[in-house]
Structure 1
């Protein structure tokens, strides 16, 4: 596309591309924007050195394309929903404006980051709501690509998880880390008591002991015998975890370990977590389901041209339509703070903004340069928390239904 556009002089046309989701995954009421800082950091490094250009030339790229890429650096404007914002079908999550040549090159970069991180954060937010204030630990690094694991840990923390087992996520992003031993550590030792004693000697009685390698009842008894009643937690990773949590809690209380927490892990998703809400569970370890978007591993974001030289353009392909024109959005709220409507409109349109309403997109880049300081991960985490509080209760249900708030298009 770039080659042909350079040849007929259309590569320099001023364009706007838009990132949006036509629909939400089945059963979902909202999506969560995540990955904005990761994308901006990747974009700052998105250039073509001689090694890359040599490979492209070997593949048959023409000299005009090689020359264009050798000086490439995105110099346009980007506005987007801030990280931690909720989005709905048709929300203009990101608008990228510049020449066709510089914008068209960004499609794969933008979509690969947003589709992954938004999918993980959207699933994690549902799990956070299902946990109802109980701790969630992201433990899915072994179930995804090694780089995706780091991004997943960050997205899950953004969406309300308390910690991750991924140490690289701590190094890069400051995500709190925690973890427990595996069954292999218990099997290594001559007895379960020896394994527990070694762990407690190394980490102190506040550690979490995995008690289901052999017999859970005996494992709990051995754990308290070794660590004492100040043991931090026991973890159960298999079986009918609801029943086992009840039995573990009763046994711990009977042994005087009333402050020892019960941690449950093992193939949990938002539905399993919700089903355990009435059980005496203190924390959940979640792996595969969160790093794979709990059945929706991509957020369904698309990257479409919506405006050329100020003229709206519309894609009319069956079932893949797009709405023309550069857009913005206003989130309307009641005086109580409850969100009631998302209004998507053309940029520059005269749209009433009430006292409690909020313009959703914010500038990220202006002429290729940062438009201001980005919020910290903790600030984005709080932004999402407030956004979920503003959603009507009906919109937070795990059951299928309409989006949490309706969208009106004034186009």
Structure 2
């Protein structure tokens, strides 16, 4: 089975996503089929009750992957055989699953948009049966990708005009690494070291050598010469295997003043970068750039703002969400029909338990109110009619209609959208100091906040 990957990406084989789910989705389906309620029209929404502690905004990422997952949510013969063998659901449910195709509608915030507590970033509508099965796979994708994109956004904001390289593949699951590269690109990273991400999503890839390459050779000089002979003088030479100052001298001797860049991967990066810049200039390599790596996060990047650094390589902290590896999104039923009759009216439903896990019932719209200067000042969420003054600021757009995907966007479009969305927020949005969400979430009359 194949599917067109997002935008610039190539067509790649995508297996069924039907088992990327929790067992209780299927047992709920079985019980609802038996009770006659499975066909009731239902509305599910994805939202988060709060942002990670201290974060000012969230970033919607993974929407394109969600659309792929919905298209490929099929219960193929081997999957049905597994469910039958394990006795997970009964025969009638297996028969229903054999013909499963999502035929409903999905609306959502455009990928790359920012969000806040209570923002209905995705709305899934259809029968209860077809919508409930998608809960786990949707949350799995959005929670991971949005967490990575939010970290990437903070890092790219801290980096300013200096490019960022995603290089976290060795710090996470091999498949998560590809998704993380995609999310990082949306958040503002310029390239990745992961070739699978480059192949699948057409993200620019970079990479030259590690310390092992230097250690392989009899001397650092031999290693540098081998790399320059192979990759040319515009390559990036790693200069901290032994003595940095000696390595820089050797690098310029071999590659000449046209040496592309040097990479520093250890030590006091602020101090070492200044020394290396001075040395490069004295050697005539004034155009040679400096790349720094070594467990960077947004705070370390911000601390290097005054350093003569040209680019950053980020791994562990990026692919783990810089301390927040999930966006804590949930997928909740917010409205359902009074009966299985296709014309039955929708009624709001919501969890009302104590302990902070309440939710807001009703099929929602969302809009971002702007001030007189065009700067966002509030996230407004409501049910029913959209106030006339907010009609042009609505955030939800159609993504799937009648089971057919409507949107396939190049990643560059999504990346640019995020940059524009972040720029429309108050300036305090990019502060790294801990604080409350930069926009309050306001509930329009007829809806109440959780």
Question: If the length of structure 2 is used for normalisation, what is the TM-score?
Answer: 0.89
**Superposed counterparts of 1:193-342, under 5 Å:** 193-309=221-337, 310-318=346-354, 319-342=356-379
CA deviations 1:300-352 (Å, max 9, x no partner) are: 11011110111000101221111000111011123533111111011x42412
Q: Does 1:14 align with 2:41?
A: yes
CA shift for structure 1 position 167: 1.0
Task: Confirm or deny: 8 A CA contact 1:135 1:161 kept in the other structure.
Answer: yes
Instruction: State the partner residue of 2:29.
Output: 2
CA deviations 1:10-41 (Å, max 9, x no partner) are: 11111101100110111100010011111111
**Superposed counterparts of 1:8-407, under 5 Å:** 8-60=35-87, 61-309=89-337, 310-318=346-354, 319-346=356-383, 348-354=384-390, 357-370=392-405, 372-407=406-441
**Distance in structure 2 (CA, Å) of the matches to 1:228 and 1:399:** 43
CA deviations 1:162-206 (Å, max 9, x no partner) are: 100011111111101111300000000010011001111111111
**Distance in structure 2 (CA, Å) of the matches to 1:263 and 1:385:** 23
**Distance in structure 2 (CA, Å) of the matches to 1:121 and 1:94:** 17
- In structure 2, relative to structure 1, the CA distance for the partners of 1:391 and 1:350 (3 Å cut) is closer
What root-mean-square deviation, in Å, do the aligned CA atoms of Structure 1 and Structure 2 show? Answer: 1.1
Structure 1: gaps of 5 or more residues: none
**Distance in structure 2 (CA, Å) of the matches to 1:376 and 1:149:** 20
**Distance in structure 1 (CA, Å) of the matches to 2:112 and 2:386:** 27
**Distance in structure 2 (CA, Å) of the matches to 1:134 and 1:45:** 38
CA shift for structure 1 position 353: 2.9
Task: Confirm or deny: 8 A CA contact 1:330 1:353 kept in the other structure.
Answer: no
- In structure 2, relative to structure 1, the CA distance for the partners of 1:87 and 1:253 (3 Å cut) is same
**Distance in structure 2 (CA, Å) of the matches to 1:383 and 1:331:** 15
CA deviations 1:51-73 (Å, max 9, x no partner) are: 11111111212011101100001
**Distance in structure 1 (CA, Å) of the matches to 2:208 and 2:296:** 17
**Distance in structure 1 (CA, Å) of the matches to 2:315 and 2:37:** 47
Task: Confirm or deny: 8 A CA contact 2:367 2:390 kept in the other structure.
Answer: no
CA deviations 1:102-122 (Å, max 9, x no partner) are: 111001110011001000000
SS at match of 1:340: strand
Equivalent pairs, count: 408
**Distance in structure 2 (CA, Å) of the matches to 1:26 and 1:215:** 41
**Distance in structure 2 (CA, Å) of the matches to 1:8 and 1:186:** 68
CA deviations 1:224-278 (Å, max 9, x no partner) are: 1111111010000011111100111111111111110111000000010011111
Deviates more, 1:394-403 or 1:86-95: 394-403
SS at match of 2:39: coil
- Deviating above 4 A after TM superposition, structure 1's stretches of 4 or more consecutive aligned residues are none
CA shift for structure 1 position 133: 1.1
Deviates more, 1:188-197 or 1:395-404: 395-404
Task: Confirm or deny: 8 A CA contact 2:106 2:125 kept in the other structure.
Answer: yes
Instruction: State the partner residue of 2:23.
Output: none
Deviates more, 1:396-405 or 1:284-293: 396-405
CA shift for structure 1 position 354: 4.8
Structure 2: gaps of 5 or more residues: 1-27, 338-345
